Structures are given as structure tokens and as C-alpha cells.
Amino acid sequence: MLPTTLICIALAQGAASPQSSTVPHAHAPASAAPQRAATPLPTVDVAAPVDAPGLHNVVAFAPDVLSGSAPEGDSGFDSLKSWGVRTVISVDGAVPDLDRAKARGIRYVHLPIGYHGFDEARKLELARALRDLPRPVYIHCHHGKHRSAGAAGTIAVTLGWMTPEQAVARMKVAGTAPSYSGLYRCTAEAAKVADAAISGARADFPEVSRPAGLVKGMVDIDLTWDNLKSVQKAGWTVPSDHPDLVPAAEAGRLADTLRLLHEDATVKTKPAEFQALMARNAEQAQSLEDLLAKFAAGARPSSEDAERLNAIASQITATCKACHAAYRD
Ligand code: HEC
């Protein structure tokens, strides 16, 4: 059998990033009494994920320790505040929304992890953050299903709050996809770690760790692609809840970022197939932009054109998935 440390492999990002910035505790005084949440604070015995305004897929891994999606806008942070959340930990690559958190006296800690799991140093750092920072704590990735639940599960075991079986069961409640076997393995093979070892972990807890190159590019790509999905849902017109979106410009930004990544130094070191997938994805995004650019502002594409746009969108998704299946998941 392989030793655990080799199996829960090292793909933590930004752990030693020189751009990490650390800012001391930013506790705003809690002036008003906390508002009562419309949704009660989820507990560990809740057998299904909970949604609240601006938050999705919230699952508790301990009393006052929640995993879920990235808080969306004011409503997401208001929901956290109404639960009395004092610390938010992001394990996602995206730069956290520090302004909205600070405005509510909530501290942000940014400790990104990969989809394959995370290394021992990041595990102890996360354990120390969850052990020592003020609770309730909300730990999030993007969708709140895979990496945040994986991190919460592993740390719940590392701190002795749960058995690996219980933590894996909570990951299943959160909807962690079975294909993220590295995340499941981290939790299944975790064990309680002595307090002294956790106290030896870094405690400078950056509020933002800027990911470099590929990860940053993927975060941008994901945001743009989400916007384009809203455009698609609106019949390839400007979505009413995003009146500022310009469909062709979003497709152009997607194509641009993919092209930039294709030229990125780390990507240049990847196998030829990886580079070919990146180039193909950029061309597909370009064809989406070209077609969208033909429609006058505010015009609704004919159903024939909408079909063509849908077909290109499916090809783009297939390329994202092909590369992730081979090189990420
Ligand atoms: C040629 C390969 C390739 C293509 C094409 C690709 N990706 Fe990725 N993507 C990756 C790799 C590799 C990672 C993992 C980076 C890491 O963690 O080091 C990743 C990571 C991500 C992440 C996670 C970022 C984070 O927070 O850590 C998202 C989201 C993502 N990709 C979305 C997309 C979308 C959407 C598309 C298609 C429009 C796409 N990707 C196309 C290779 C690709």
C-alpha cells in the first residue's frame, strides 16, 4: 500500500506565492445585533444541501463550519452575515470579493487548492485556520460542491471532528463528483493530527493569493463562460438580469484569454495534445464571437442562427471537458 502522503498529492496553488499579501485582522465592530436569517444556519445532521440568497449548496461539516458556493454579490454576503459568519475561507483560484466581506466585518482567508487534492503543508494551514479563526466559518470554492467540500471533509478528520467515513458521507451530501477521486482520497485517508503539529503550520493566512498563468486564466475563462451561458439561456440576447453584457464581447474575451494561455510559458511546456486542445478551444470561441458579432445590438437571432450558436457552444464545452478529463481531474 502506498503511504498516505503520496496519495493525497501536492497540487495546492499559490502556497508560496510571492504575491500573497497578508493583512491583519479586519474586524469591524458588530454594531447592530445580527439580523435573523430567513434560512436557519445549516447543521451537520441536515441531509441535503441548503440554498440561501446568494449562496448555494451549503453543507455543515461541524457546528459553525460550513462549505458552499462563492458568495454572490451583496445578497451572498448578507446571508453570511445573517448567520453570524466571521471568517470566510476560499479554496478557489478566483480573487475573493474582499470589499463586500470587509464591509460586513468578515475576514477573508485565501488558500486555494487543486482538483486533485492538496499537499500536507496546505492541509495543516487549512486545519490551523479552521481550528483558530473566529467562527462561524464559511469555506467555499466556485460551485461549492467539489473543492470546498473536499477541503472541509479532510480538515474535519484532521481536527478529529469526524471519522473519514462520516466526512466522506458529508462530501456526498455536498455533491462532490465521484470523478474527483483525489479529493475523496484526501478525506478517506486523512487521520487526526496532533495539535502541536497543526500549531507548526503557517498562520499568516493571506486574504488573497494571486494565482499565476494557467489557473488565473482558467478563472477568467470560467467567469466569461458563465456569462455566455446566461446569454445562451436568454436566446442569445442580452440577459435581463445582466443588462450590461455584450454577447459578442464576452465571446471575444473568451477567445482572447484562450489565445493568451496558448502563448503562456507554463502552457508551452505541456504536451502537444494539451496545446492543440487550447488552440481548438480558442478557435471555437472565435467562431462564436464572429457569429454573435453579426447580430445588431438587441436583435434576437433567428432560430436557425440560434441552433448554430448552440452547436458551437456544445463544441466549446466538449473541448473544456476533454482537456480537464485528460489533464486536470
Ligand atoms: C487545454 C486544456 C484546457 C482547456 C481547453 C480548458 N481548461 Fe480549464 N483547466 C485546465 C487545467 C489543466 C486546469 C487546472 C489548473 C491547475 O489547477 O493547475 C483547469 C482549471 C479550470 C478551472 C478551475 C480554476 C480554479 O479555480 O482553480 C475552471 C473553472 C476551468 N478550468 C474552466 C474551463 C472552461 C469553462 C473551459 C472551456 C471554456 C476550460 N476550462 C478549458 C485545462 C484546460
Burial class (CB in 10 A: 0-12, 13-18, 19+), 121: middle
Burial 172-197 (b: 16+ CB within 10 A, else e): ebbebeeebebbbbbbbbbeebeeee
Residue 216 makes CB contacts below 8 A (sequence gap 6+) with 93, 210
Residue identifier of the C-alpha nearest atom 3 of ligand 1: 323
Handedness of CA 148, 153, 157, 160 (dihedral sign): positive
Nearest atom of ligand 1 to the alpha carbon of 280: 5
Return d(Cα 150, Cα 36) in angstroms, integer.
29
Could you tell me how many residues make up the chain? 329
Bridge partners (DSSP) of residue 137 are 65, 87
3-state secondary structure of 51: strand
Please report the pLDDT score of residue 13 as a whole number.
Answer: 39
Q: Which residue minimizes the CA distance to atom 21 of ligand 1? A: 218
- Cα–Cα distance list, 272 to 199, 248, 269 (Å): 44, 30, 9
DSSP 8-state code for residue 117: B
Distances (CA, A) of 317 to 19, 199, 329: 32, 43, 15
How distant, in Å, are the alpha carbons of 27, 93, 96, 109 from that of 102?
8, 20, 11, 12
Contact at 8 Å (CB) between 206 and 109? yes
Closest ligand 1 atom number to CA of residue 94: 26
Query: Residue 128's closest CA among 204, 38, 225, 187?
Result: 204
Task: Check if 117 has its Cβ closer than 6 Å to any atom of ligand 1.
Answer: no
Q: Is 68 helix (H, G, I), strand (E, B) or coil?
A: strand
The cell numbers describing 289, all together, are: 464571437
Residue 113: the pLDDT is: 85
CB of 75 shorter than 6 A to ligand 1: no
Tell me how far the alpha carbon of residue 132 is from its chain's centroid. Answer: 23
Q: Classify residue 190 by its DSSP letter.
A: -
- What is the CA(329)–ligand 1 centre distance, in A? 10
Domains of the chain listed by start with CATH number: 4-199 (3.90.190.10), 213-327 (1.20.120)
CA of 216 to the centre of ligand 1 (A): 9
pLDDT at 298: 75
164-174 vs 181-188: helix axis angle to the nearest 10? 150
pLDDT given for residue 25 in this prediction: 38
Does the C-beta of 114 come closer than 6 Å to ligand 1?
yes
Q: Whose CA is nearest to atom 2 of ligand 1?
A: 323
Per-residue model confidence as pLDDT tens for the chain (329 residues) = 333 333 454 443 333 333 333 333 334 344 444 444 468 899 999 999 999 999 999 999 999 999 999 999 999 999 999 999 999 999 987 779 999 999 999 999 999 887 778 889 899 999 999 999 999 999 999 889 989 999 999 999 999 999 999 999 999 999 988 777 789 999 999 999 999 999 999 999 999 886 568 888 898 899 899 999 999 999 999 998 888 788 888 998 899 889 888 888 788 889 999 999 999 999 999 999 989 988 877 788 999 999 999 999 999 999 999 999 999 88
286/233 Cα distance (integer angstroms)? 20
Q: CA-to-CA distance for 145 and 129, rounded, in angstroms? A: 20
Question: Grid coordinates 478566483 are at which residue?
Answer: 94
* Cα–Cα distance, 309 to 291 (Å, whole number): 8
pLDDT score of 211: 58
